[in-house]
Amino acid sequence: MGRLRSLLIPGVDKQLLVKDAVKIMPDLARRRFIAGGASLGALTLLTGCDVTDSFSADDLLAKVSKFNDAVQAAIFNPNALAPTYPESAITKPFPFNAYYELDEAPEVDGKAWKLEVRGLVDNKKSWTLDELYKLPQVTQITRHICVEGWSAIGSWTGTPLRDFLKLVGADTRAKYCWFQCADKDGYNSPLDMETALHPQTQMTFKFADQILPRAYGFPMKIRVPTKLGFKNPKYVLSMEVTNEYKGGYWEDQGYNSFSGS
Amino acid sequence: MSSLAASDDRPLTGASTVIQPGWVRTVHWINAVAMIMMIMSGWQIYNASPLFDFRFSHAVTLGGWLGGALLWHFAAMWLLMVNGLVYLAMGLATGRFRRKLLPLTPAGVIADTRAALTGKLSHDDLTKYNYVQKLLYAGIIVVGILVVLTGLSIWKPVQLHWLTALFGDYAVARVIHFSCMAAIVAFLVVHVALALLVPKSLRAMVIGR
């Protein structure tokens, strides 16, 4: 009898069901947060009282996050370089990380791909991979730091973004470079111009001296060692130079937009 | 403020004696709220990529998910940092640190630890800290400073690379940040347990006497 009662749905073990549910919790919790519920709920738990509509903890937190954007932009030193490491320090294997599994990662056809350049630039021509490969490249060995806390050291080779911005005649007084990517659900992310012009910000074509593999963002990723990992877009399709804040995949869900290191 | 600070030195004269001056009570409770928000949101952040083979229960974390927890953590940090700086400045300026925490001698700590373990430690005069209290309160101030510095190191490992380098590198600073949290939580457990065992100390931190 006891065994039967523990089966919520005939044939389904309650404990296993809960275990499965917990596995998908982060997603659910995330959606609840976006709807404005989660942190309010947490606050209610903390204070033991109802939080009315007249005060929203989410609004206050969003305001502080905007303030933190301004603080980070103010203390950003365009000449401060991310520490570099010897080849022996490279993390092997370098982790694949995304909001989907590796087999769901975009499979971009390098021959058909073109980098679209839009917005406040003199030359809006699209660039093929062969054309981009001909630009002068440099290699950096830097630490990639994920918003989750883990970090890994990798070797990235490509063209400094500021050289490319100069080449296409970008208006570098504009506020952002906004990148759109091939990830499912349409990944995108804004990069403030000061960071885009940082000497280590790179249009990356190679990882560990090999053509960028699919796992790390083939055909092109933007490597930004002065930002958290999610501000390093992979599978880049287009770049728009703009004064408009167009939001980003994670930024819109609540990650701090500047997220500088 | 100076009159409140001066009251620290007043001799015990019955109910009117102030044990904890107003500024101490104010920064204490602001710190309590800020610290609990930092710890609970920090646990949620930890859960996104655990350093060790365990996760914190969702019931004791703040923020709902990583992004929410980061918003709490990076909001409460201002409260913790500004309040902490006021505490350090006032503690030095009023001479409270020197008066309450010094002298701090190993012999004194050993003697008072023995007295505490055998139930012979007196709590009659709450204006004076015994050596175990001196050690714990001085120690937790150091840990408090360390948790903020390692926090800054892992928040800004490029802009403050010299600070991060002081702790080794980003990965080491992250482990020290976690260890400081563990020390603060351990302190909190002992601190709250002892406050409940000696209720008049809790009363003094609420109404001052």
Could you tell me if A16 and A130 lie in one domain? no
| Residue that wins the pLDDT comparison between A45 and A65 | A65
User: Does residue B110 lie within any of the structural domains?
Assistant: yes
User: Does residue B2 lie within any of the structural domains?
Assistant: no
Chain B interface, best mutation among A34, A151, A223, by max B CB count within 10 A: A151
User: Does residue B1 lie within any of the structural domains?
Assistant: no
pLDDT at A33 over 60: no
Could you tell me if A105 and A225 lie in one domain? yes
Dihedral angle, C-alpha B169, B171, B174, B175, nearest 10 °: -110
Could you tell me if A58 and A105 lie in one domain? no
pLDDT digits (tens, 9 = 90+) for A70-100: 999 999 999 999 999 999 999 999 999 999 9
8 Å CB contact of A82 and B158:
yes
**Which residue in the set B63, B67, B170 is minimally distant from A151, CB to CB?**
B170
A261 touches B at CB < 8 Å: yes
User: Does residue B61 lie within any of the structural domains?
Assistant: yes
User: Does residue A49 lie within any of the structural domains?
Assistant: yes
Could you tell me if A54 and A104 lie in one domain? no
Q: Which of A28, A54, A71 is the last residue of a domain?
A: A71
Could you tell me if A39 and A126 lie in one domain? no
**Confidence (pLDDT) at B140:** 97
User: Does residue B202 lie within any of the structural domains?
Assistant: yes
Chain A interface, best mutation among B35, B44, B158, by max A CB count within 10 A: B158
CATH of residue A222's domain is 3.90.420.10
Q: What is the mean pLDDT of residues A150-177?
A: 98
The Cα–Cα gap between B61 and B37 comes to: 9
Could you tell me if A102 and A63 lie in one domain? no
Could you tell me if A158 and A190 lie in one domain? yes
The Cα–Cα gap between A97 and A84 comes to: 22
**Which residue in the set B159, B171, B174 is minimally distant from A77, CB to CB?**
B159
Mean pLDDT, chain A, as a whole number?
A: 87
Q: Which of A38, A56, A71 is the last residue of a domain?
A: A71
pLDDT digits (tens, 9 = 90+) for A165-190: 999 999 999 999 999 999 999 999 99
8 Å CB contact of A149 and B68:
no
| pTM of the predicted model as reported, rounded to 2 decimal places | 0.84
Instruction: Nearest chain A residue to B71 by CA: give it.
Output: A61
CA angle (A226, B151, B60) in 5-degree steps: 120
Chain A residues touching B48 at Cβ < 8 A: 147-149
Chain A residues touching B169 at Cβ < 8 A: 83, 143
- The type of residue at B106 is P
User: Does residue A258 lie within any of the structural domains?
Assistant: no
The Cα–Cα gap between A78 and A64 comes to: 24
Beta strand A12-13 with A7-9 is antiparallel
**Confidence (pLDDT) at A17:** 55
User: Does residue B3 lie within any of the structural domains?
Assistant: no
Chain B residues touching A142 at Cβ < 8 A: none
Tokens of A222: 């933007």
**One-letter-per-residue 3-state SS of chain A:** CHHHHCEEECCEEHHHHHHHHHHCHHHHHHHHHHCCCHHHHHHHHHHCCCCCCCCCHHHHHHHHHHHHHHHHHHHCCCCCCCCECCHHHCCCCCCCCCCCCHHHCCCCCCCCCEEEEEECECCCCCEEHHHHHCCCCEEEEEEEECCCCCEEEEEEEEEEHHHHHHHCCECCCCCEEEEEECCCCCCEEEEEHHHHCCCCCEEEEEECCEECCHHHCCCCEEECCCECHHHCCCCEEEEEEECCCCCCCCHHHCCCCCCEC
Could you tell me if A46 and A150 lie in one domain? no
Q: What is the mean pLDDT of residues A141-146?
A: 98
The Cα–Cα gap between B79 and A14 comes to: 43
User: Does residue A261 lie within any of the structural domains?
Assistant: no
Q: Which of A71, A93, A110 is the last residue of a domain?
A: A71
**Confidence (pLDDT) at A23:** 52
B102: alpha, beta or left? (left if phi > 0; alpha if psi -120 to 50) = beta
B52 touches A at CB < 8 Å: no
Chain A residues touching B58 at Cβ < 8 A: 25, 29
User: Does residue A259 lie within any of the structural domains?
Assistant: no
- Taking CB atoms and an 8 Å cut-off, how many pairs form between chains A and B? 106
User: Does residue B184 lie within any of the structural domains?
Assistant: yes
8 Å CB contact of A41 and B64:
yes
Question: Is the ipTM beyond the 0.90 threshold?
Answer: no
Tokens of B47: 């859960």
pLDDT digits (tens, 9 = 90+) for A195-230: 999 999 999 999 999 999 999 999 999 999 999 999
Bridge-partner residues for A236, per DSSP? Answer: A181
User: Does residue A260 lie within any of the structural domains?
Assistant: no
Beta strand A221-223 with A138-145 is unpaired
Are A58 and A39 a contacting pair, CB within 8 Å? yes
Are B6 and B95 a contacting pair, CB within 8 Å? no
The total domain count for chain A is 2
Q: Picking from A30-44, A76-90, A143-157, which range would have the lowest pLDDT averaged per residue?
A: A30-44
**Confidence (pLDDT) at A114:** 98
Spatial CB neighbours of B128, under 8 Å, sequence gap ≥ 6: none
Confidence of residue A103 (pLDDT cuts 50, 70, 90): very high
Cα B67–chain centre separation: 26
Closest-CA residue to A165 (of A193, A126, A207): A193
**Confidence (pLDDT) at A39:** 46
8 Å CB contact of B78 and A260:
no
Confidence of residue A12 (pLDDT cuts 50, 70, 90): low
Q: Tokens 């809960």 correspond to what residue?
A: A18
Beta strand A236-242 with A114-119 is parallel
The Cα–Cα gap between A9 and A191 comes to: 50
User: Does residue A199 lie within any of the structural domains?
Assistant: yes
The total domain count for chain B is 1
8 Å CB contact of B158 and A149:
no
Tokens of B134: 């001196």
Are B64 and A46 a contacting pair, CB within 8 Å? no
Could you tell me if A24 and A102 lie in one domain? no
Instruction: Give the neighbor-by-neighbor strand order of the sheet with A188-192.
Output: A127-128, A114-119, A236-242, A176-181, A188-192
Could you tell me if A109 and A66 lie in one domain? no
> Over its length of 209 residues, how does chain B's per-residue pLDDT go in tens digits?
444 444 444 444 444 688 899 999 999 999 999 999 999 999 999 999 999 999 999 999 999 999 999 999 999 999 999 999 999 999 999 999 999 999 999 999 999 999 988 888 888 888 889 999 999 999 999 999 999 999 999 999 999 999 999 999 999 999 999 999 999 999 999 999 999 998 999 999 999 98
Could you tell me if A105 and A215 lie in one domain? yes
Could you tell me if A134 and A213 lie in one domain? yes
A154 touches B at CB < 8 Å: no
- The type of residue at B64 is G
Tell me which residue range forms the domain holding A10: 2-71
Cα-only R_g, chain A: 22
CATH of residue B185's domain is 1.20.950.20
Helices A38-47 and A57-75, packing angle to 10 deg: 110
User: Does residue A91 lie within any of the structural domains?
Assistant: yes
Confidence of residue A27 (pLDDT cuts 50, 70, 90): low
User: Does residue B12 lie within any of the structural domains?
Assistant: no
Are B28 and B96 a contacting pair, CB within 8 Å? no
Bridge-partner residues for A206, per DSSP? Answer: A157, A211
